[in-house]
């Protein structure tokens, strides 16, 4: 099975013309484009059943609640978890990590404890721990990388001593590296630590099963997986989520409020204060249906083939002139390609590409500690998804040369 060849037609934005060129969208690691069915599902909600959920006894309020909770079930199935109660809706993966740090960390971490993160984390999995550490005085440890951009697992066991939480990305948003989460989880659990996983770059691109990952917590975001912005997910094992105190307080997250206190609601509502992003949840449900209709293994196979093609095309054409960070084996990485070309600054490179309608990302990709490890202030990053094809890669490869002519020193 392969992906349909005309997938681009399902994404209205991909038929746009930018600077006189058909758009070549290579920034899906930042945010993916949305298929027609996701846009339609959100419009359908607003046009036919827009009402607040979990309250009104009238017909459209009941329908809105039903559609939202159906979406939760389909999202739970999508990541292989047992119960929709384990799927908590947040604003994005960043909020999911803040929830973990504030709720679990706030009640479990103190001086003498340690949290282990890695040198390839996104700021979303760094700064919430740093904020909390400034209050609680626990230690933050960093698992280093090998020269080819993999986690240095030889140092894992020794670093795990005294660690209560290992918080690690399943796939680097800069290097593309796929990390052996289940192996890390086994070793972390053996050392008595819990494991939180950043699935922001993983869940949109590979078949995901929380039991296979052996994680305790998983964070991901809707807008990188064909869904809308403003909707993220925290999955957690039920007994773990049950043991964690509420995060934000307000409506929806309570069973009872008295003058002398409150009683928190059941999962998952305990963590969902206020009116949820209903249209976005329904949109993410439609995105999950869309991905299921394609088959996530087909999505992964497509991206392996396209990554292989991109790495070969770039290396064949530019050889020594180009440095591509991260693993060279497409099976060890996703379709995120961070590159340096003839010393051209990423800002200048992306500006030249933009004139040809090619969208890539220039910058530190919210991973400044990693940039420091790589010894660069920024990289140019092209990232691919299910709608990209070889013509997009060809456009990128062809355009690098003109940037080099203009800016190479």
Residues 93-132 that bind other proteins (CB under 8 A): none
Among 84, 162, 251, 363, binds other proteins (CB under 8 A): 363
Among 114, 151, 352, 382, binds other proteins (CB under 8 A): 352
Q: Does 16 participate in binding other proteins (rule CB under 8 A)?
A: no
Q: How far is the CB of 355 from other proteins (least distance, A)?
A: 5
Q: Does 368 participate in binding other proteins (rule CB under 8 A)?
A: yes
Give whichever of 380 and 383 is closer to other proteins, judged by the CB atom.
380
Residue 366 a catalytic site member: yes
Closest CA to 25 of 353, 340, 401, 286: 353
Query: Which of 87-95, 187-195, 317-325, 341-349 is the region at the interface with other proteins (rule: CB under 8 A)?
Result: 341-349
Q: How far is the CB of 407 from other proteins (least distance, A)?
A: 6
Give me Rg for the CA atoms of the chain.
Answer: 22
Among 2, 83, 377, 390, binds other proteins (CB under 8 A): 377
How far apart CA 351 and CA 406 sit, in angstroms, is 11
Q: Does 347 participate in binding other proteins (rule CB under 8 A)?
A: yes
Question: Beta 358-359 vs 17-18: how paired, if at all?
Answer: unpaired
Number of chain residues interacting with other proteins (CB under 8 A) = 18
How far apart CA 89 and CA 231 sit, in angstroms, is 7
Q: Does 398 participate in binding other proteins (rule CB under 8 A)?
A: no
Closest CA to 396 of 364, 362, 329, 349: 349
Crossing angle for the helix pair 278-294 and 36-44, nearest 10 degrees?
150
Q: Does 21 participate in binding other proteins (rule CB under 8 A)?
A: no
Question: Beta 217-221 vs 194-198: how paired, if at all?
Answer: parallel
Q: How far is the CB of 202 from other proteins (least distance, A)?
A: 25
Can you tell me which residue has the tokens 């590296």?
Answer: 177
DSSP classification of residue 71 = H
Helix (H, G, I), strand (E, B) or coil at 340: strand
Among 346, 386, 397, 399, binds other proteins (CB under 8 A): 346
Among 69, 289, 321, 348, binds other proteins (CB under 8 A): 348
Helices (DSSP H) in 295-345: which residue ranges? Answer: 296-318
Query: Which of 106-114, 236-244, 268-276, 350-358 is the region at the interface with other proteins (rule: CB under 8 A)?
Result: 350-358
Q: How far is the CB of 338 from other proteins (least distance, A)?
A: 13
Helix (H, G, I), strand (E, B) or coil at 294: helix
Q: Does 406 participate in binding other proteins (rule CB under 8 A)?
A: yes
Q: Which residues contact 405 (CB under 8 A, 6 or more apart)?
A: none
CA dihedral 280, 284, 285, 291 (to 10 degrees): 160
Active-site positions read 366
Question: Which residues of this chain interact with other proteins, rule CB under 8 A?
Answer: 19, 345-348, 351-352, 355, 362-364, 368, 371, 377-378, 406-407, 409
């Amino acid at each position: 099975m392969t992906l349909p060849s005309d997938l681009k037609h399902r994404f209205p934005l991909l038929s746009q013309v930018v600077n006189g060129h058909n758009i070549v969208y290579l920034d899906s690691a930042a945010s993916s484009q949305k298929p027609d069915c996701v846009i339609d599902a959100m419009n359908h909600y607003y046009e036919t059943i827009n009402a607040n959920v979990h309250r009104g006894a009238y017909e459209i309020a009941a329908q809105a609640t039903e559609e939202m909770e159906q979406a939760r079930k389909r999202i739970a199935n999508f990541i292989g978890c047992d119960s929709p109660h384990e799927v908590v809706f947040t604003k994005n993966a960043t909020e999911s990590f803040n929830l973990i740090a504030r709720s679990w960390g706030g009640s479990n971490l103190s001086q003498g404890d340690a949290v282990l993160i890695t040198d390839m984390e996104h700021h979303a999995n760094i700064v919430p721990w740093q904020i909390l550490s400034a209050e609680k005085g626990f230690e933050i440890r960093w698992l280093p990388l090998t020269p080819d951009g993999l986690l240095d697992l030889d140092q894992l066991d020794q670093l795990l001593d005294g660690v209560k939480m290992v918080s690690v990305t399943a796939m680097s948003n800069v290097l593309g590296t796929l990390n052996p989460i289940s192996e890390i989880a086994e070793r972390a659990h053996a050392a008595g630590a819990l494991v939180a996983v950043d699935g922001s770059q993983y869940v949109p691109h590979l078949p995901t099963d929380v039991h296979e990952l052996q994680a305790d917590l998983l964070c991901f975001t809707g807008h990188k997986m064909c869904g809308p912005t403003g909707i993220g997910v925290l999955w957690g094992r039920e007994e773990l989520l049950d043991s964690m105190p509420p995060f934000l307080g307000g409506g929806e997250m309570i069973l009872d409020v008295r003058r002398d206190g409150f009683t928190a609601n059941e999962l998952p509502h305990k963590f969902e204060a206020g009116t949820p992003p209903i249209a976005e949840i329904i949109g993410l449900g439609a995105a999950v249906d869309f991905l299921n209709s394609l088959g996530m293994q087909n999505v992964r196979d497509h991206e392996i083939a396209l990554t292989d093609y991109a790495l070969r095309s770039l290396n064949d054409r530019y050889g020594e002139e180009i440095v591509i960070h991260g693993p060279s084996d497409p099976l060890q990485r996703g379709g995120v390609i961070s590159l340096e070309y003839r010393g051209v600054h990423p800002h200048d490179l992306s500006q030249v590409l933009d004139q040809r309608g090619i969208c890539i990302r220039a910058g530190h990709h919210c991973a400044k500690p990693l940039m420091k490890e790589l010894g660069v202030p920024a990289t140019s990053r092209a990232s691919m998804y299910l709608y990209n094809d070889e013509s997009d890669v060809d456009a990128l490869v062809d355009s690098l040369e003109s940037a080099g002519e203009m800016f190479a020193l």
